[in-house]
Amino acid sequence: MKPCSSEDRLEQAVRTILDEIGVEKGSETYRNTPRRVAKMYLELFSGMDERNEPKMTLFSNTGYNDIIAVKKIPFYSVCAHHMLPIFGDVSVAYIPGEKIVGLSKIPRVVKFFSLRLQVQENFSEQIADYLLTKLNAKGVFVLVKARHLCLEMRGVTMPNVETVSSTARGIFETSQAKREEALQMMMIDGNP
Protein backbone atom coordinates (compact mmCIF):
# COMPACT_ATOMS: atom_id res chain seq x y z
CA MET A 1 0.00 0.00 0.00
CA LYS A 2 1.37 3.43 -1.04
CA PRO A 3 1.92 5.87 1.89
CA CYS A 4 -0.25 8.96 1.93
CA SER A 5 1.60 12.11 0.78
CA SER A 6 1.20 15.65 2.11
CA GLU A 7 -0.69 16.52 -1.04
CA ASP A 8 -3.08 13.57 -0.53
CA ARG A 9 -3.73 14.59 3.09
CA LEU A 10 -4.32 18.22 2.09
CA GLU A 11 -6.68 17.09 -0.65
CA GLN A 12 -8.67 15.04 1.85
CA ALA A 13 -8.81 17.98 4.29
CA VAL A 14 -10.18 20.27 1.56
CA ARG A 15 -12.73 17.63 0.62
CA THR A 16 -13.84 17.57 4.29
CA ILE A 17 -14.19 21.37 4.35
CA LEU A 18 -16.29 21.30 1.17
CA ASP A 19 -18.51 18.61 2.68
CA GLU A 20 -18.92 20.60 5.91
CA ILE A 21 -19.95 23.82 4.14
CA GLY A 22 -22.51 21.95 2.06
CA VAL A 23 -20.90 21.70 -1.36
CA GLU A 24 -22.87 19.21 -3.43
CA LYS A 25 -20.93 15.95 -3.70
CA GLY A 26 -20.15 14.98 -7.26
CA SER A 27 -20.71 18.50 -8.58
CA GLU A 28 -18.64 18.94 -11.74
CA THR A 29 -17.70 22.49 -10.66
CA TYR A 30 -16.00 21.24 -7.47
CA ARG A 31 -14.78 17.83 -8.61
CA ASN A 32 -11.10 18.86 -8.92
CA THR A 33 -11.15 21.62 -6.29
CA PRO A 34 -9.53 19.53 -3.52
CA ARG A 35 -6.58 18.61 -5.77
CA ARG A 36 -6.15 22.19 -7.02
CA VAL A 37 -6.29 23.63 -3.48
CA ALA A 38 -3.80 21.03 -2.17
CA LYS A 39 -1.31 21.92 -4.92
CA MET A 40 -1.89 25.63 -4.27
CA TYR A 41 -1.19 25.23 -0.53
CA LEU A 42 2.07 23.42 -1.23
CA GLU A 43 3.09 26.32 -3.48
CA LEU A 44 1.85 29.14 -1.20
CA PHE A 45 3.59 27.70 1.87
CA SER A 46 6.83 26.54 0.23
CA GLY A 47 8.74 29.13 2.30
CA MET A 48 8.07 27.02 5.39
CA ASP A 49 10.55 24.48 4.05
CA GLU A 50 14.06 25.75 4.83
CA ARG A 51 15.36 23.76 1.83
CA ASN A 52 13.78 26.48 -0.34
CA GLU A 53 15.93 29.22 1.19
CA PRO A 54 17.27 31.50 -1.57
CA LYS A 55 20.92 31.29 -2.53
CA MET A 56 22.74 34.52 -1.77
CA THR A 57 25.24 35.81 -4.35
CA LEU A 58 27.70 38.07 -2.56
CA PHE A 59 30.43 40.25 -4.04
CA SER A 60 33.35 42.04 -2.41
CA ASN A 61 32.51 45.56 -1.37
CA THR A 62 35.09 47.86 -2.92
CA GLY A 63 34.41 50.65 -0.44
CA TYR A 64 30.71 51.58 -0.65
CA ASN A 65 29.59 52.74 2.82
CA ASP A 66 26.22 54.33 2.15
CA ILE A 67 22.66 53.08 1.87
CA ILE A 68 21.48 50.78 -0.91
CA ALA A 69 17.69 50.53 -1.25
CA VAL A 70 15.45 48.20 -3.23
CA LYS A 71 11.91 49.59 -3.22
CA LYS A 72 8.36 48.42 -3.76
CA ILE A 73 8.98 44.68 -4.01
CA PRO A 74 5.49 43.20 -4.44
CA PHE A 75 4.54 40.28 -2.22
CA TYR A 76 1.61 37.97 -1.56
CA SER A 77 1.26 35.99 1.63
CA VAL A 78 -1.35 34.34 3.84
CA CYS A 79 -2.47 35.54 7.27
CA ALA A 80 -1.51 33.13 10.05
CA HIS A 81 -4.69 33.94 11.98
CA HIS A 82 -7.39 33.51 9.32
CA MET A 83 -5.58 32.00 6.32
CA LEU A 84 -6.69 34.85 4.06
CA PRO A 85 -4.41 36.75 1.68
CA ILE A 86 -2.06 39.56 2.67
CA PHE A 87 -0.52 41.57 -0.16
CA GLY A 88 1.47 44.72 -0.64
CA ASP A 89 5.06 45.74 -1.08
CA VAL A 90 8.34 45.71 0.79
CA SER A 91 11.17 48.22 0.62
CA VAL A 92 14.60 47.20 1.93
CA ALA A 93 17.61 49.40 2.66
CA TYR A 94 20.98 48.17 3.82
CA ILE A 95 24.47 49.46 4.45
CA PRO A 96 27.01 46.86 3.34
CA GLY A 97 29.92 45.57 5.33
CA GLU A 98 32.63 43.69 3.46
CA LYS A 99 30.13 42.24 0.96
CA ILE A 100 27.33 43.49 -1.26
CA VAL A 101 24.53 41.28 -2.54
CA GLY A 102 23.24 40.73 -6.07
CA LEU A 103 20.16 42.96 -6.12
CA SER A 104 17.83 40.21 -7.42
CA LYS A 105 18.46 38.30 -4.21
CA ILE A 106 16.61 40.81 -2.04
CA PRO A 107 13.24 40.22 -3.80
CA ARG A 108 13.95 36.46 -3.54
CA VAL A 109 14.34 36.81 0.24
CA VAL A 110 11.05 38.73 0.42
CA LYS A 111 9.33 36.02 -1.61
CA PHE A 112 10.81 33.21 0.52
CA PHE A 113 9.44 34.69 3.75
CA SER A 114 6.11 35.62 2.15
CA LEU A 115 5.53 31.96 1.18
CA ARG A 116 4.49 30.91 4.67
CA LEU A 117 1.71 31.67 7.10
CA GLN A 118 2.56 35.19 8.23
CA VAL A 119 1.95 37.94 10.71
CA GLN A 120 3.13 41.24 9.21
CA GLU A 121 5.30 42.21 12.20
CA ASN A 122 7.14 38.87 12.04
CA PHE A 123 7.47 39.12 8.26
CA SER A 124 9.35 42.43 8.42
CA GLU A 125 11.58 41.12 11.23
CA GLN A 126 12.38 37.87 9.41
CA ILE A 127 13.51 39.75 6.30
CA ALA A 128 15.66 42.20 8.31
CA ASP A 129 17.26 39.53 10.51
CA TYR A 130 17.97 37.23 7.58
CA LEU A 131 19.63 39.96 5.49
CA LEU A 132 21.60 41.33 8.44
CA THR A 133 23.01 37.87 9.17
CA LYS A 134 23.60 36.68 5.60
CA LEU A 135 25.17 39.94 4.41
CA ASN A 136 26.95 40.74 7.66
CA ALA A 137 25.63 44.23 6.91
CA LYS A 138 26.21 47.30 9.03
CA GLY A 139 22.47 47.84 9.07
CA VAL A 140 19.19 46.75 7.50
CA PHE A 141 15.89 48.64 7.40
CA VAL A 142 12.67 47.02 6.15
CA LEU A 143 9.38 48.78 5.46
CA VAL A 144 6.27 46.69 4.70
CA LYS A 145 2.97 48.12 3.43
CA ALA A 146 0.16 45.60 3.19
CA ARG A 147 -3.53 45.01 2.85
CA HIS A 148 -5.01 42.16 4.87
CA LEU A 149 -8.12 40.50 3.47
CA CYS A 150 -8.93 39.20 6.98
CA LEU A 151 -9.57 42.87 7.79
CA GLU A 152 -11.37 43.65 4.53
CA MET A 153 -13.49 40.55 3.87
CA ARG A 154 -14.56 39.54 7.37
CA GLY A 155 -14.91 40.99 10.84
CA VAL A 156 -14.82 44.79 10.59
CA THR A 157 -14.98 44.63 6.73
CA MET A 158 -12.97 47.78 6.06
CA PRO A 159 -11.76 47.91 2.45
CA ASN A 160 -8.45 49.49 1.38
CA VAL A 161 -6.99 49.76 4.89
CA GLU A 162 -3.20 49.72 4.69
CA THR A 163 -0.99 48.40 7.48
CA VAL A 164 2.60 49.65 7.65
CA SER A 165 5.38 48.04 9.68
CA SER A 166 9.09 48.68 9.87
CA THR A 167 12.07 46.90 11.32
CA ALA A 168 15.46 48.48 11.92
CA ARG A 169 18.63 46.54 12.61
CA GLY A 170 22.24 47.57 13.16
CA ILE A 171 23.06 51.22 12.48
CA PHE A 172 19.41 51.94 11.61
CA GLU A 173 18.53 51.14 15.25
CA THR A 174 21.16 53.42 16.71
CA SER A 175 21.21 56.33 14.25
CA GLN A 176 18.02 58.34 13.84
CA ALA A 177 19.69 60.22 10.96
CA LYS A 178 20.40 56.98 9.03
CA ARG A 179 16.86 55.69 9.64
CA GLU A 180 15.42 58.98 8.34
CA GLU A 181 17.74 58.86 5.32
CA ALA A 182 16.53 55.33 4.50
CA LEU A 183 12.89 56.38 4.85
CA GLN A 184 13.53 59.40 2.62
CA MET A 185 15.06 57.16 -0.06
CA MET A 186 12.06 54.85 0.12
CA MET A 187 9.71 57.83 -0.40
CA ILE A 188 11.39 59.25 -3.52
CA ASP A 189 8.81 59.39 -6.35
CA GLY A 190 5.87 59.47 -3.97
CA ASN A 191 4.83 57.26 -1.09
CA PRO A 192 6.95 54.25 -0.12
In this structure, the answer to whether residues 16 and 102 fall within a common structural domain is: no
pLDDT, residue 127, reads: 98
Residues 21 and 72 in one domain: no
Q: Is residue 110 a part of any domain in this protein?
A: yes
Residue 54: pLDDT band by 50, 70, 90 thresholds? very high
103 lies in the same domain as 25:
no
Percent of the chain with pLDDT over 90: 89
Residues near 101 by beta carbon (within 8 Å), at least 6 away in sequence:
56, 57, 58, 59, 94, 131, 134, 135
User: How many structural domains does the chain have?
Assistant: 2
Q: Cα–Cα distances in Å, from 71 out to 9, 34, 68, 76, 161?
A: 39, 37, 10, 16, 21
Assigned domain for 177 exists: yes
Work out the pLDDT band at 2, boundaries 50, 70, 90: low
pLDDT tens, position by position, 89-109: 999 999 999 999 999 999 999
What value does the mean pLDDT take over residues 56-67? 96
pLDDT tens by residue, 140-183: 999 999 999 999 999 999 999 999 999 999 999 999 999 999 99
Does residue 1 lie within any of the structural domains? no
The verdict on residue 78 lying in a domain is: yes
Domain assignment present for residue 192? The answer is no
Whether residue 190 has pLDDT greater than 80 = no
Find the mean pLDDT for residues 6-33.
91
Residue 45: the pLDDT is: 96
**Is the confidence at residue 191, as pLDDT, over 80?**
no
Would you say residue 159 lies in a domain?
yes
What pLDDT score was predicted for residue 110? Answer: 98
Closest CA to 131 of 86, 96, 174, 183: 96
- The rounded mean pLDDT for the chain is 94
Q: Looking at the structure, do residues 81 and 108 belong to the same domain, yes or no? A: yes
Question: Are residues 161 and 79 located together in one domain of the fold?
Answer: yes
> What domain range includes position 159?
50-187
Does residue 71 sit in the same domain as residue 55? Answer: yes
153 located within any domain: yes
Q: Is residue 123 predicted with pLDDT exceeding 90?
A: yes
CA distances from 155 to 37, 51, 83, 84, 148 (A): 24, 36, 14, 12, 12
pLDDT confidence of residue 3: 66
Looking at the predicted structure, is the pLDDT value of residue 1 above 60? no
Per-residue pLDDT at 150: 94
* Mean pLDDT lowest among 26-30, 63-67, 89-93, 136-140: 26-30
